[in-house]
Structure 1
Amino acid sequence: MVHTQYLLQGTLKGFDQTINLILDESHERVFSSGQGVEQVVLGLYIIRGDNVAVIGEIDNELDKQMELSSVRAEPLNAVVH
Structure 2
Amino acid sequence: MVLLRWISLAVMVVLLVGLMLNFNLGWFRNQFLPTIAGLLILNVGFVGMHRFARGLRSSYDAEADERMRSVRPLIQKRSDDPQH
Tell me the TM-score normalized by structure 1.
Answer: 0.22
Q: Whose helix fraction is larger, Structure 1's or Structure 2's?
A: 2
| TM-score, length of structure 2 as denominator length | 0.21
Answer with 1 or 2: which has the greater Rg.
2
